[in-house]
Amino acid sequence: MIVIRTGDDRVTSTRMSRAEYGHVLSVRSAQIASTGRAFVDAGADHDPMRIAAREIAERRCPLIVRRFLGQVTNGHAAGSPVYEYWSPNEMSHPPVSLATRA
């Protein structure tokens, strides 16, 4: 059994860590590179990394951040992992710049 916390049951920060941001950015840019489907207007930009960063900044990212909280210690679900699910669109993002990318 897996225990999932969403909505008002969540206990962690609404701030996305740099590691979470980097993971979401890399997964989403790989998806954009393979399918070409973006949820923002790419315009003349063909760099999947920049397009993914724009999706996150404009809060149009379709992914979910899953945070591991530990395991249930008692009751019928003892030993089950506990996760929180967050949409990147409802989280604040760390200050990250892609300006150095060629």
Percent of the chain with pLDDT over 70: 95
- Domain residue ranges in the chain: 3-90
pLDDT of residue 27: 97
Q: Is the pLDDT of residue 97 over 90?
A: no
Average pLDDT on 11-39 reads 95
Handedness of CA 8, 5, 29, 40 (dihedral sign): negative
Opening angle at CA 94, ends 62 and 69, nearest 5: 70
Average pLDDT on 43-48 reads 90
pLDDT tier at 98 (50, 70, 90 boundaries)?
low
According to CATH, the superfamily of the domain at 3-90 is: RNA polymerase subunit, RPB6/omega (3.90.940.10)
